[in-house]
Structure 1
Amino acid sequence: MFKIIAKVNKLLLPSFSKKQLDLSKATKWQTVIIGWRYYVTTRALDE
Protein backbone atom coordinates (compact mmCIF):
# COMPACT_ATOMS: atom_id res chain seq x y z
CA MET A 1 0.00 0.00 0.00
CA PHE A 2 2.81 2.45 0.80
CA LYS A 3 4.37 1.81 -2.60
CA ILE A 4 1.19 3.09 -4.25
CA ILE A 5 1.10 6.13 -1.96
CA ALA A 6 4.76 6.82 -2.79
CA LYS A 7 3.98 6.82 -6.51
CA VAL A 8 1.06 9.20 -5.97
CA ASN A 9 3.29 11.47 -3.88
CA LYS A 10 5.86 11.53 -6.64
CA LEU A 11 3.23 12.66 -9.13
CA LEU A 12 1.39 15.20 -6.98
CA LEU A 13 3.79 16.65 -4.43
CA PRO A 14 6.65 18.97 -5.35
CA SER A 15 10.23 17.73 -5.24
CA PHE A 16 12.26 20.11 -3.09
CA SER A 17 15.55 18.36 -3.78
CA LYS A 18 15.33 19.32 -7.44
CA LYS A 19 14.74 22.94 -6.40
CA GLN A 20 17.82 22.87 -4.10
CA LEU A 21 15.69 23.86 -1.07
CA ASP A 22 17.67 24.69 2.06
CA LEU A 23 15.98 22.82 4.93
CA SER A 24 16.83 25.55 7.42
CA LYS A 25 14.85 28.05 5.31
CA ALA A 26 11.87 25.79 4.59
CA THR A 27 8.40 26.91 5.62
CA LYS A 28 6.17 24.84 7.91
CA TRP A 29 4.22 23.39 5.00
CA GLN A 30 7.40 22.46 3.16
CA THR A 31 8.74 20.63 6.22
CA VAL A 32 5.40 18.83 6.61
CA ILE A 33 5.58 17.66 2.98
CA ILE A 34 9.20 16.59 3.40
CA GLY A 35 8.33 14.66 6.55
CA TRP A 36 5.35 12.97 4.90
CA ARG A 37 7.39 11.93 1.87
CA TYR A 38 10.14 10.59 4.15
CA TYR A 39 7.63 8.59 6.20
CA VAL A 40 5.97 7.06 3.13
CA THR A 41 9.28 6.32 1.41
CA THR A 42 10.73 4.50 4.42
CA ARG A 43 7.55 2.45 4.84
CA ALA A 44 7.49 1.59 1.13
CA LEU A 45 11.08 0.34 1.32
CA ASP A 46 10.23 -1.87 4.31
CA GLU A 47 7.48 -3.70 2.41
Structure 2
Amino acid sequence: MKKQLFKILVKLNKVLLPSLYKKDPMKLSTVQKAILGYKYWTLTNSL
Protein backbone atom coordinates (compact mmCIF):
# COMPACT_ATOMS: atom_id res chain seq x y z
CA MET A 1 0.00 0.00 0.00
CA LYS A 2 2.88 2.38 0.77
CA LYS A 3 4.38 1.92 -2.70
CA GLN A 4 1.02 2.56 -4.33
CA LEU A 5 0.69 5.83 -2.43
CA PHE A 6 4.13 6.97 -3.54
CA LYS A 7 3.43 5.97 -7.15
CA ILE A 8 0.33 8.17 -7.09
CA LEU A 9 2.41 11.02 -5.61
CA VAL A 10 5.01 10.64 -8.38
CA LYS A 11 2.29 10.90 -11.02
CA LEU A 12 0.88 14.01 -9.34
CA ASN A 13 4.36 15.53 -9.14
CA LYS A 14 4.81 15.15 -12.89
CA VAL A 15 1.58 17.01 -13.53
CA LEU A 16 1.62 19.69 -10.82
CA LEU A 17 5.25 20.53 -10.07
CA PRO A 18 7.64 22.26 -12.46
CA SER A 19 10.25 20.29 -14.32
CA LEU A 20 13.81 21.03 -13.20
CA TYR A 21 15.39 18.94 -15.93
CA LYS A 22 18.69 20.24 -17.34
CA LYS A 23 19.12 22.85 -14.61
CA ASP A 24 22.25 23.15 -12.53
CA PRO A 25 21.36 22.15 -8.93
CA MET A 26 23.89 24.64 -7.56
CA LYS A 27 22.08 27.56 -9.22
CA LEU A 28 18.58 26.67 -8.00
CA SER A 29 16.78 28.75 -5.40
CA THR A 30 15.94 27.31 -2.00
CA VAL A 31 12.35 26.58 -2.99
CA GLN A 32 13.46 24.84 -6.19
CA LYS A 33 15.93 22.72 -4.19
CA ALA A 34 13.13 21.73 -1.83
CA ILE A 35 10.93 20.72 -4.78
CA LEU A 36 13.78 18.73 -6.28
CA GLY A 37 14.40 16.96 -2.96
CA TYR A 38 10.71 16.16 -2.54
CA LYS A 39 10.47 14.73 -6.06
CA TYR A 40 13.59 12.62 -5.44
CA TRP A 41 12.23 11.37 -2.09
CA THR A 42 8.88 10.32 -3.56
CA LEU A 43 10.58 8.65 -6.55
CA THR A 44 12.96 6.58 -4.41
CA ASN A 45 10.13 5.48 -2.12
CA SER A 46 7.98 4.42 -5.06
CA LEU A 47 10.67 2.10 -6.43
State the TM bucket, normalised to the shorter chain. 0.7 to 0.9
Q: What is the CA deviation profile of residues 13-39 of structure 1, one whole-angstrom value per residue up to 9, with x for unaligned ones?
A: 01111xx21111100000000000000
Taking structure 2 as the reference length, the TM-score comes to 0.87
Q: Which residue of 1 aligns with 2:40?
A: 38
Greater fraction helix: 2
Q: Which residue of 2 aligns with 1:7?
A: 11
Equivalent residues, number: 43
Taking structure 1 as the reference length, the TM-score comes to 0.87
Gaps of 5+ in 2: none
Gaps of 5+ in 1: none
Give identity over the alignment, percent: 42
Moved over 6 A (4+): none
